[in-house]
Amino acid sequence: MIGILFVCHGNICRSPMAESIFTALIAARGLKERFFVASAAAHTDALGEPPHRGTREKLAREGIPLIPHRARLMTASDGEKYDYLIGMDDQNVRDMRRIVGERNAGKVSKLLDFSPRPRAIADPWYTGNFDETFDDIVEGCNALLERLAAAEE
């Protein structure tokens, strides 16, 4: 099984959105048994909180089931457990590499690094634009899944 951990600052907006979207994509393709997917925070700001209302509402409008979730902190052991540690922006990536240490730092990347247009995914906590965040995450999740499928061929 391939382990994927999506990470953002507080684990209430972008990373649970990515976890839910990626899970829906693999389920639709009959690949759910080949992956284990989760999400976590790089900081302690919102530990124990459910996903942000904007994330819940956007996923509902798009017909994507929200994975039951409470924000949790990424740990060093996640570096051992997961094959891909995926952040949303450069600060996430720096934080993640610090958390998992040098041994697993090579597993860390930004989600849109897998797309033809690598860039950061803006935090809707600040922008209020959950539509743009959703579109960027869908782009990244599709690109990641295509990359993983191509690697197995």
Which 3-state string (H, E, C) describes 84-136? EEEECCHHHHHHHHHHHCHHHHHHEEEHHHHCCCCCCCCCHHHHCCHHHHHHH
Q: Which helix (H) or strand (E) holds 140?
A: helix 130-152
| 72-109 pLDDT per residue, tens | 999 999 999 999 999 999 999 999 999 999 999 999 99
Question: What is the Cα–Cα distance from 92 to 9, expressed in whole angstroms?
Answer: 6
Q: Which CATH class is domain 2-152?
A: alpha beta
pTM score, two decimals? 0.97
**φ/ψ of residue 108, rounded to 5:** -90, 135
**φ/ψ of residue 55, rounded to 5:** -65, -45
Query: Which residues are tagged catalytic?
Result: 8, 14, 123
Enumerate the domain spans of the chain: 2-152
For helices 53-62 and 130-152, give the axis angle rounded to 10 degrees.
Answer: 60
Give me the pLDDT at residue 149, please.
83
Give me the pLDDT at residue 153, please.
59
